[in-house]
Structure 1
C-alpha cells in the first residue's frame, strides 16, 4: 500500500500528489512519461479513484501533468526543488480543509462537465 506513515495526517489526495510530485522531481517519471493508471494508484494507496483524481487535479493545476479522459496522465514539467519538497507541516489545518473542499468541488465539476459532453454528443445528431 502507498507511502503512508503512521503519523501522516495529510489528506489522502494531498499525500498522493506529494508522492507523485517527488517522484517526478526525482526523475522516476520524466517529461513525456505516463503516470500509473488511476485504478493502479487507487489500489496502491487503498483509496477511491476520485481521491486519485483529486491528486491528479493538484498536479495538473501546478502545470506538472496533462490529462485526457480515458487516458493516463502525462508528465509535462518538473517541479522546482522547493515545490518538490514542500513540507506538509507548513500548511495550516484551515488551508488543508479549504483545499480539500476545493478539490472535491473540482471533481464534481469534472463529472458534470463529462455529463454535459455526453449529452451534447447524444443530442448532436438529433
Structure 2
C-alpha cells in the first residue's frame, strides 16, 4: 500500500519550465484607438497591447510568462494549450501579384514577416 507522500509524488505537477515552454495560440486585434491588442484565450485574462505588431507580440509574450509564473507560484491551475489535431496550421494560398505586393509592403512597414502580418489580418477579421 502506498503512503501519502508516494501518492503526492505520483500527482506532482510539472515544472514551471514545462509550462513556460508550452506554445499558446495568440490572437491579434487592431485597437480602436490605434495600435494592437493581443490575447491568449487559453490563459484567462492574459492580454496585452502595443503600437506595432512587433511590440504587441513582445508584450504578450512577457504577459504570458508573468501569467504562468504568478499562477504557478500561487498553486493555481495552468491550462495547457488547446490543440486541434485535425488541422495542421498550414495552408497553401494563391493570390494576385498586386495583392501579394501590397501585403508584403504592409508587413515591411510593420516590421514583421509576411506570414505574421497575414495571420494578424485573418485573426482580426475572424
Same fold (TM over 0.5): no
- Select the structure of larger CA radius of gyration: 2
Instruction: Tell me the TM-score normalised to structure 2 length.
Output: 0.25
Instruction: Tell me the TM-score normalised to structure 1 length.
Output: 0.25
- Greater relative contact order (Cα 8 A, min sep 6): structure 1 or 2? 1
Higher helix share: 1
Higher strand share: 2
